[in-house]
Structure 1
Amino acid sequence: MRTRLGAGFGWLWAAYAVSTYGTWIAFGAFPLLAVRVLHSPAFAVSLLGAASLVVAAGVAIPLGPWVEHRNKRSVLIAMDLVRFLAMASVPAAYLFDLLSYGQLLAVSVISATAGIAFTAASGAYLKHLVGPEHLLVANGRFEGTSWMATAAGPPLGGALIGLLGPVVTVATDAVSYLLSALGILQIGGGDVAAPRTQVLLTPVPGTAPARTAPARTAAPHEAATSARALGMLNGWRFIFRDRALRRLFLNAMTVNGLIMATSPLLTVLLLDEYHLPAWQYGLAFGLPALGGLAGARSCARLVTRYGQYRVLMVSGWLRSIFPLGLALTRPGVAGLVIVIITEALLIICMGVFNPISATERLRRAPADHTAQILSAWSISSKVAQASLMAIWGGLATFTSPLTAITAAGVLLLGTPLCLPRRTHLPDPVVGAPAEGGRVTSPEAGKAVSVG
């Protein structure tokens, strides 16, 4: 029977689906605007993607503690409205012949930054919407929605671009954020904000227990500065303090970074060197995404039958092996089939692995530091992806795209060594640091992650 997760989850799932489809429909619109409307060179087009990730990651560092102490539903709505206004400014500027490369770059940064804050708030907010026993099911539904949007969005966006131009797809993306905000607004019930606690000094493992700050009345600006300084680092401190989180984090950064680094190289290889028709290129990336839906839908059943750790390890190992198949890519139909099969197998494994990883991450996150942990995770992911994209772009320039893709596939073979061991998983960190560096147990929370 289909598990019912409540009306609140239904509205949030619908809001996530609308905004995700809007994003994928507009996928590639900014590079097209930069090339066709603004006549930007190739370097500027590449900079549009990489620089926006890095700048957004830097801007988003203070957002973790900011989100942690605010009502999460309000943050979700505010971030959707920020993205709506940013995206809507592009078609407005185009209509008045005021569109510039600087505006595209600014909108990319604003949207990416708001996305990090949205992701951080969503995990904490969903703890109040979904019970812990339904955690994996909820993550599987979000994962399946994401892969469906990945499969259907770009073809729909391509059709819209062909008929009406890239500006219309950007406007569609803007409207999707507005609809998402309206959907979240429909969720009833209370909101959640972490309590503002005293700033405490957490000990580093192997050192003497931490002591609270001396008892004196600190000036308001001193306390605020100290809280922000510690808050910005809390996410990473909690991740690296927990052995399972630390290993999942390192594995995610390397695997996702190397996979994303090869994505533009595969585009160059298929379109520029092998002269693949545009429709075949779209098929090569759209069709395999359906495998993600299949993997996400089967994830909970596989865990029930074989156990979480076994499914996590098998899917984690397989997703690191299949990308090496892209080294066999060649011109013509044979090469197209190789890409489709390789990408499909990879994405099926990701569809199984990602919900389990997200579930474990949220289960182990302290209830009053969830937003900071998710912010740190998102920021690190964007920096890792941008850095590896730049490195692999340089490698492809000095060698060839196929050589760089093969090198990434070889390195991916070693990434499962970062996965948690069986002994790491049974003992999650369930509290936040208290006096003396000890851990207290918060009230049992419900944890689910969006995407």
Structure 2
Amino acid sequence: MGRAFNWLWIAYTASVVGTWLAFGAFPLIAIRVLGSGPAAVSGLAAAGLAAGALLGLRLGPWVEHRDKRTVMIVADVVRCAALLSVPLAHGLGLLTYAQLVIVSVIGAAANVAFTAASGAFLKQIVAPERLLRANARFESTTWTVIAVGPMLGGAAVGLLGPVITVYANAAGFLLSGLALAAIRPRPGRTAPRPAGSLADGWRFVHDDHRLRALFRNTIAVNALIMATEPLLAVLLLGELGWPAWWYGLAFGLPCLGGLLGAQLVGRFEQRYGRARVLTMAGVLRILTPVGLALVVAGPGGLLLVVAVEFVVITSMGVFNPLLATERLQRVPDDRISRVLTFWTVANSAAIALTTALWGVLADLVGTRTAIGIAGALLLLTPLLFAGDSLTGRKRVLAWRR
């Protein structure tokens, strides 16, 4: 895959390790340090994503005009500095809910810039026929880390408190930036400088029949799944009184399924074709989350969450690398940053809106009922795969011409 990709992979691994060691850190801090309820915990997640999405609206065209590696390094440094402010303020007794929101906003905006640059940078250093292999390697790394990270993070929280894991998150971004700095830019290569705006990213996705169907489905699924994350933290850690290490185990152990899916995705594509595998994995990943509404306090509840998450995550391990590869291969190099920025901004905005709504819904009908409603709505999302048509194919060909 080449030296440049190896350093990129190291950077990705460092970032993922830090992020998942700190899994649930902000909800835990909000619940156990600041005494926040369901609406406030959901609002914390929603506010960061929404404001980050708004800031990201200007980032796609801006990233297109900048050196991608430099953008990624700056984004890592910014995220590291923002996160370090949390334990510093906590140590001084000055930590507030508002600061958590501000740090979430900064992190979300930096994530938009990093995502937009990383896709374009991957296309610069990896040959088109190796993109699926590269994305599968990233996916394998993600699920391997998640299988262990939340459990270790949960144990650290139990021993040292939730603030300690924020250090791990910050260190991951710092190490990621250092690994990216070790990549030597190829001489004679300059960043593309097209005219246009983020609306170009929206138009390209809209005019590509396949991307449009995948976009609708993934945005809806991600929004409904992520909207229940803070509610699950409230239900499991607060209402049911789970210990932190149970919480880490429940979401860490099933990630072995994600690793399995990422290892098999290349074989599935060769045997059944990308379109069929994408559709089947996309359907399988939404069948079980409704079962989370039935979780209970004892070991039976832990086993239920593990089983539900195993099905979801195994399917994601297959779906995500194929989606990332399909998107990179269908989008021209001179528009990739704008398309990825639009996709990330839309995803963040949808998650923010849905998370905020589900926080209010949980206050009205109860946390468990709100989680069940999200699971029921997920069962309808396969309908959003509809939309592949000859007309859409003609539109994207005309756009490219």
TM-score between both structures, scaled by the size of structure 2: 0.90
CA 1:155–1:115 in 2, change beyond 3 Å: closer, same or farther?
same
Cα separation, partners in 2 of 1:11 and 1:425, compared to 1, 3 Å: farther
Alignment of 1:270-289 (within 5 A): 270-289=236-255
Aligned to 1:363: 329
Q: 2 CA distance for matches of 1:30 and 1:188?
A: 36
Q: Which moved more, 1:314-323 or 1:388-397?
A: 388-397
1:409 matches 2:375: yes
1:294-321: CA deviation from partner (whole Å, max 9, x where unpaired) = 1111111111122112211111121122
Letter in 2 for 1:408: A
CA pair 399-43 structure 1, distance change in 2 beyond 3 A: closer
Shift of 1:348: 0.5
Q: What is the CA distance between 1:350 and its match in structure 2?
A: 0.9
How far apart, CA to CA, are the structure 1 residues paired with 2:284 and 2:136?
Answer: 19
* Cα deviation, residue 17, structure 1: 0.7
- Quick one: structure 1 residues 172 and 328, their matched pair in 2 at CA, closer, same or farther if it must change by over 3 Å? closer
Please tell me whether the aligned partners of residues 364 and 430 of structure 1 are also in contact (alpha carbons under 8 angstroms): no
Per-residue CA distance 1:39-89 (angstroms, 9 max, x = gap): 556644433221111111101110000000111111111111111222223
* Offset of residue 244 of structure 1: 0.9
**1:40–1:417: structure 2 CA closer, same or farther, 3 Å change rule?**
closer
Match of 2:320 in 1: 354
Equivalent in the alignment of 1:224: none
2:290 matches 1:294: no
Residue in structure 2 matching 1:131, options 123, 127, 130:
127
Instruction: Tell me what 1:116 maps to.
Output: 112
Q: What's the secondary structure of 1:187's corresponding residue? A: coil
8 Å CA contact 2:264–2:318 kept in 1: the answer is yes
Summarize the alignment of residues 41-440 of structure 1 with structure 2, pairs less than 5 Å apart. Answer: 43-190=39-186, 193-197=190-194, 199=195, 230-419=196-385, 439-440=400-401
* Cα distance change, pair 368–266 in 1 and its aligned pair in 2 (3 A): same
For 2:35 and 2:309, locate their aligned partners in 1 and report how far apart those are by CA, in whole Å: 32
Cα-to-partner distance string for 1:373-416 (whole Å, 9 max, x where unaligned): 11111111111112112222333333333333332222222211
More helix by share: 2
TM-aligned CA deviation for residue 135 of structure 1: 1.2
Match of 2:8 in 1: 12
- Give the structure 1 partner of residue 23 of structure 2: 27
Aligned partners of 1:270 and 1:98: how far apart in 2? 28
1:419, CA displacement in angstroms? Answer: 1.9
How many angstroms does 1:272 deviate by? 4.4
Which sits farther off after the overlay, 421-430 or 290-299?
421-430
Change over 3 Å in CA distance of 1:380–1:400 after alignment to 2: same
**1:365–1:430 Cα contact (<8 Å) kept:** no
8 Å Cα contact 1:17/1:146 also seen in 2:
yes
Is the CA contact (8 Å cut-off) linking 2:201 and 2:340 kept in structure 1?
yes
CA shift in 2, pair 1:35/1:339, >3 Å: closer
Distance 1:168 1:267, change over 3 A: closer
The amino acid across from 1:150 in the alignment is I
Q: Quick check: 1:120–1:375 contact (8 Å CA) kept in 2?
A: yes
C-alpha distance 154-182 of structure 1, shift in aligned 2 (>3 A): same
In 2, are the aligned partners of 1:76 and 1:121 still within 8 Å (CA)?
A: yes
Provide Cα deviations, 1:241-293, integer angstroms capped at 9, x if missing partner. Answer: 11111111100111111111223333344444544444433322221122111
Residue identity in the other structure for 2:156: L
Q: How far apart, CA to CA, are the structure 2 residues paired with 1:146 and 1:155?
A: 14
Q: Deviation at 1:100?
A: 3.7
Q: Distance in 1 between matches of 2:369 and 2:218?
A: 23
Contact 2:292 2:305 in 1 (8 A): yes
Distance in 2 separating the partners of 1:360 and 1:371: 15
Given that 1:244 and 1:424 are in contact with CA atoms closer than 8 Å, whether structure 2 keeps it comes out as: no
Any conservation in 1 of the 2:157–2:244 contact (CA below 8 Å)?
Answer: no
Deviations 1:360-380 (A, max 9, x none): 111111211111111111111
Per the alignment, do residues 29 and 330 of structure 1 end up closer, same or farther by CA in structure 2, a change over 3 Å counting?
A: closer
Whether the 8 Å CA contact 1:366–1:430 is kept in 2: the answer is no
Q: Confirm or deny: 8 A CA contact 2:43 2:356 kept in the other structure.
A: no
**How many Å separate the matches in 1 of 2:74 and 2:394?**
32
Task: Name the aligned partner's letter for residue 107 of structure 1.
Answer: V
Which segments of 5 or more consecutive residues in structure 2 lack a partner in the other structure? none
Change (3 A) 1:57 1:162: same
Q: Is the 8 A contact 2:112 2:341 kept in 1?
A: yes
